[in-house]
Amino acid sequence: MDDAGTVHVNGAVAIDENLILAIGSAEDILAEYSAAEVLDGKDRIVLPGLVNGHSHAAMTLLRGVADDLALMDWLNNYIFPAEVEFVDSEFVRIGTELACWEMIRGGTTTFVDMYYYPDAIAEVVDRCGMRAMISATVIDQRSPDAENADDSIQKGNGFMERWQGRNSRITPIFGPHANYTLNAEQLQATRKAAMAFSAPISIHISESPFELQYSQDTYGMPSIEMYESIGFFEGPTIAAHVVWPTKEEIPILVERKVGVIHNPTSNMKIASGIAPITEMLAAGVRVGLGTDGAASNNDLDLWEEMRLASLLQKVDRMDPEVMSATTVLTMATRGGATAIGLGDEIGSLEVGKRADLIQVEFDDVHHVPTYDVVSHLVWVTDEQDVTSVVVDGKILMKDGAMLTIDTERVAAESKALAARIQAALKQRNKAQ
């Protein structure tokens, strides 16, 4: 995934501490370097770890709790009640561990998260070895961890103080929810708080027709214009969704270097719409991929997001030539890294970059025969094909075995918590 799109056949990567020291032919690398540990690469493709630019990791615990409902029914009768009753730091710890397990298993090495109790998220990431940007969520309503916007900004400041500079894999950021759950002053106050820490912001922008209408009615203009008008884009911004930008708004995203995170499964499942990704890429917008939360996906599988991103553009435009395999693989790796502001550190296998890389096994039946590696990675590969995962030079999964997460414990804790949630929802819906 370097500028030239180099593919090394029978290649090797040498890692020193947490950085890529050399990359080239296996023969040269093995002749020049000796290593404490060598990962076998027979029938395996080595590529940069995948970047999940938008997630609500702990929502894995609400996976499948309710599906196929209208957004407001789903939120008001299932998600919000379950969150109000059950989301505490323990829920977030268990749900985030479950999510990290799933993401590592599927080859994701970096994620940008937005949920409650960010300290609990950061502690899990610290232990399991992934790389993450973790948002302190800011929302002007009573949430599981704050009373209102002011309170959530104050708590966000505390989170920043505790986690900034503590672990190079963890970037604490602010996550204002959206311009229909925060007003202009609160959005500006959140940006000001983020600027005080030189921290980026992750936010939902232009996700649904509802938001478009709300923004027009409330601010007299569509969302992106509104954010521009209040100076919100003066700091780095990771914008999830951006399904409904107007033609006039796309150049603002380019000029302000806003990273757009496309979440095709969520956009389809909640029927938010089809994001004009082809137009945004052509205009020069930085675009990455995300899974959104597992309650609206229902997994954290970026291989599926790559396929759907491409398929959705092709059928929407009735043009099979748009969104090639290379384009979506770039969105899941280097493009995503650039969109979230980490393009100099991760996203490609190049000397001096962080050693975040994965191995994908190519000897399963669906990979036989292989004519083109990139075609197979996008159109065939599943999470189960990922065999080994390295983040920051440390092996997190080796030959399918999870090395940093106690999967038995996490599965047992998740099932126990899910049983309580299910019983409570049953009780609640019976009472209504």
* Residue 211 sits in the site that holds Zn ion (CB under 5 A): no
CB of 87 to Zn ion, least distance (A): 15
* Residue 392 sits in the site that holds Zn ion (CB under 5 A): no
* Residue 83 sits in the site that holds Zn ion (CB under 5 A): no
**How many residues touch Zn ion (CB under 5 A)?**
1
* Residue 292 sits in the site that holds Zn ion (CB under 5 A): yes
Segment interacting with Zn ion (CB under 5 A) among 72-80, 154-162, 173-181, 290-298: 290-298
430: exposed, middle or buried (Cβ count in 10 Å: 0-12, 13-18, 19+): exposed
CB of 204 to Zn ion, least distance (A): 5
* Residue 305 sits in the site that holds Zn ion (CB under 5 A): no
Calculate the CA dihedral of residues 84, 90, 95, 98 and round it to 10 degrees: -170
- Smaller CB distance to Zn ion: residue 102 or 292? 292
Token pair recorded at residue 49: 């770890």
- Smaller CB distance to Zn ion: residue 129 or 156? 156
CB of 286 to Zn ion, least distance (A): 18
- Smaller CB distance to Zn ion: residue 292 or 356? 292
Segment interacting with Zn ion (CB under 5 A) among 135-143, 284-292, 341-349, 420-428: 284-292
Segment interacting with Zn ion (CB under 5 A) among 86-94, 130-138, 162-170, 289-297: 289-297
- Smaller CB distance to Zn ion: residue 110 or 388? 110
Through-space distance between the first and last CA atoms of the chain, rounded to whole angstroms: 54
Token pair recorded at residue 76: 């008001």
Residue 251: partners with Cβ closer than 8 Å, 6 or more residues away = 283
Segment interacting with Zn ion (CB under 5 A) among 180-188, 292-300, 346-354, 375-383: 292-300
- Smaller CB distance to Zn ion: residue 265 or 310? 265
Residue 49: partners with Cβ closer than 8 Å, 6 or more residues away = 107, 108, 109, 110, 333, 346, 356, 357, 358, 389, 390, 391
> Which residues, 178 to 207, sit near Zn ion by CB under 5 A?
none
CB of 54 to Zn ion, least distance (A): 6
Q: Which residue has the tokens 């029914």?
A: 73
Q: Can you tell me the distance from the alpha carbon of 19 to that of 393, in angstroms, rounded to the nearest whole number?
A: 6
* Residue 301 sits in the site that holds Zn ion (CB under 5 A): no
Do residues 279 and 250 make contact, with C-beta atoms less than 8 angstroms apart?
yes
CB of 296 to Zn ion, least distance (A): 8
Of all residues in the shown chain, the one whose CB is closest to Zn ion is 292
Phi, psi of 357 (to 5 degrees): -150, 160
* Residue 299 sits in the site that holds Zn ion (CB under 5 A): no
Q: Which residue has the tokens 């690469």?
A: 41
Segment interacting with Zn ion (CB under 5 A) among 286-294, 307-315, 325-333, 355-363: 286-294
| Secondary structure E strands in 41-179 | 44-48, 50-55, 108-115, 131-138, 170-176
CB of 173 to Zn ion, least distance (A): 14
CB of 372 to Zn ion, least distance (A): 33
Do residues 343 and 337 make contact, with C-beta atoms less than 8 angstroms apart?
yes
Q: Which residue has the tokens 């990675």?
A: 377
DSSP 397: E
> Which residues lie near Zn ion (CB under 5 A)?
292
